[in-house]
Structure 1
Amino acid sequence: MSAAPLWDELTERLLPVLTEYRSHIADLPVEVKADKTLLTEADVAVQRIIIDAIRATEPDAVIIAEEDERQGPREDVVGAGGRVWVIDPIDGTAEFVEEERVEFCSVVCLLENWQPVSAFVLAPELGPSRTPLVVTADAPGHRLTLNGDTVTPPTRPGQDRWLSATRSAGAPPRDFDAAAGEAGFLLKTRTTSQTLDMVRTAVDLSHCTDPSLPAFELFWRRRQKVWDGVAGLCLGTAAGLRHCDEDGKPLPTAPSFFGQAEPVFASTVLGRPEVVSWFLDSPH
């Protein structure tokens, strides 16, 4: 069954809520969680809307959500048979709470047989004049859409060749940074929304963002939480990209992995196959 009706419903329901919170963002209390990421009332409200919409059509849905505060193993996930919904209500909360920034999004991904098959990314202010962009993916059908229109992934590098390889603020440059420069790549090193960087690896948004945000040829992260990553992997699969860990091994897809309280990929690499091969041979 197509997820398109759900994606349309979520777009309609989430946009006014996100707009309302952003209209008084300076007054919104911000909590710092144990992992040093941020939490606001908006994250909780958006997550509830998404869960309610999923359960309205699938009452017994098994859901992994960032703000579900799970402490122990997810027995419901382990016994789900591979059909699981993964939610990140606001990816890039640090961007969301800054009025002048726009690189944040709401994310939903559906797994079937433990593989990401359908994804929804709503970036409410990423388009021109802070208009919304909605990106969806149907991995088995190799179909990507942008604001409802089918799009094709970038087929060749642009004039400037970009990689997303962010590092913690204040962290020194890595050997990889120099290797990327020597190979002619430009690096994005400031962390914003991991999902949106993965979107920009699968879809060229440069023509519909202001200022223009270039597409990436490679996305690389260490210690990436599953709700920050599976939708991007779904988009990558739909776009024909390669994904693996930084040693070239497949990413974990076992029930025992998704059944952890906080599933985390040790490392995530997504990109054009030839660029992933170059990365695996480079110091990192």
Structure 2
Amino acid sequence: MAQPADHALAASVATETGDLLVKTRERLFAAGAGTWEVRDTGDFEAHRHIVERLSEALPADAILSEEGRDNLDRLTADRVWIVDPLDGTREYSEPGRSDWAVHVALVENGAPTAAAVALPAVGRTLCTEPGPSLPESHNGRPRLVVSRTRPPAAAVIVAQALDAELMTLGSAGAKAMAVVMGMADIYAHSGGQFEWDNCAPVAVARAAGLHASRCDGSELEYNFADPWLPDLLICRPEYADDALEALRQVIEGEA
């Protein structure tokens, strides 16, 4: 099981990386850098910082990073850090946007046990210890957070079943943390993500008392040879049964 030092390390590394990314973006924008230079530089510098910090603090632990070469020795490791150094590169490269994140999670036996999600542009890091306090439910229709482009099928199904209103955000981490912070009630995604897209957000969401599962209600598991994850549901507990029922009906109808 994760120790207090693991939770603290996840939070500090995510926060430090976020601070680095904010300064890097400001410097590049000031220099007139183009979109791809901002994205690539942010990805590279954030990945390097995270790997250096984790390797220095815990050299025996394995690391799976979106931006790094995958070493499959992690499959037999007891402890694996799954990280997304810059979740939402598109939003990061657009001046003024704050819906991007840094994900740092420790996985043991397939389950995330310590994690942090930094929202650097708003100066906030949410972590597993102490877990976030879930705000009281708001009055009115449930709010379902979706991507800025076309909503995935899972979101459309849940929105119709629960008469939810849609709100748009960029990165997966920003969407999940919107539910944690009470700005949204449901985040349903289908069409696929990678483990680093939702590992840390799932851990933080659960620490806040939210429901988190696959769209069929099954467990989310991590550290597979193929890090692809087909779907995800994060929501306030009062919406979990209805959302899962709507999704299961569609899944069973397609079988």
Query: If the TM-score is normalised by the length of the shorter chain, which range does it land in?
Result: 0.7 to 0.9
Aligned with residue 30 of structure 1, among 30, 36, 47: 36
1:29/1:41 contact within 8 Å kept: no
Match of 1:114 among 105, 110, 115: 110
TM-score after normalising by structure 1:
0.74
1:220 equivalenced with 2:188 (yes/no): yes
Partners of 1:172 and 1:157 lie apart in 2 by 23
Equivalences for residues 1-284 of structure 1 within 5 A:
1-2=3-4, 3-7=6-10, 9-10=12-13, 13-23=16-26, 24-25=28-29, 26-28=32-34, 30=36, 39-70=39-70, 74-81=71-78, 83-126=79-122, 132-138=123-129, 143-144=130-131, 151-159=132-140, 161-166=142-147, 169=149, 171=150, 177=156, 180=159, 183-188=162-167, 190=168, 192-204=170-182, 214=183, 216-222=184-190, 223-253=192-222, 258-260=223-225, 262-282=226-246
User: Percent identity of the aligned residues?
Assistant: 23
State whether residues 176 and 282 of structure 1, in contact with CA within 8 Å, keep that contact through their aligned partners in structure 2: no
Return the offset for 1:66. 0.4
- Assess if the C-alpha contact under 8 Å between 2:212 and 2:233 holds in 1: yes
Preserved CA contact (<8 Å) 1:103 1:192: yes
Higher helix fraction: Structure 1 or Structure 2?
A: 2
CA RMSD for the aligned pairs?
Answer: 2.7
Is this contact kept in 2: 1:90–1:106, CA < 8 A? yes
Relative distance call for 1:10 and 1:28 in structure 2 (3 A) is farther
The answer on whether the counterparts of 1:177 and 1:187 sit within 8 Å (CA) in structure 2 is no
Residue type of the alignment partner of 2:242: W
User: Gaps spanning 5+ residues in structure 1: where?
Assistant: 32-37, 127-131, 145-150, 205-213
Q: In the alignment, residue 277 of structure 1 is paired with which amino acid? A: D
TM-score (norm 2): 0.82
Instruction: Report if aligned partners of 2:7, 2:128 keep a CA contact under 8 Å in 1.
Output: no
Change in CA separation of 1:180 and 1:152 when aligned onto 2, cut-off 3 Å: same
Relative to structure 1, the CA distance from residue 39 to residue 199 in structure 2 (aligned partners, 3 Å threshold; closer, same or farther) is: same
Q: How many residues align?
A: 241
Structure 2: which 5+ residue stretches go unaligned?
A: 251-255
Q: Which moved more, 1:175-184 or 1:239-248?
A: 175-184
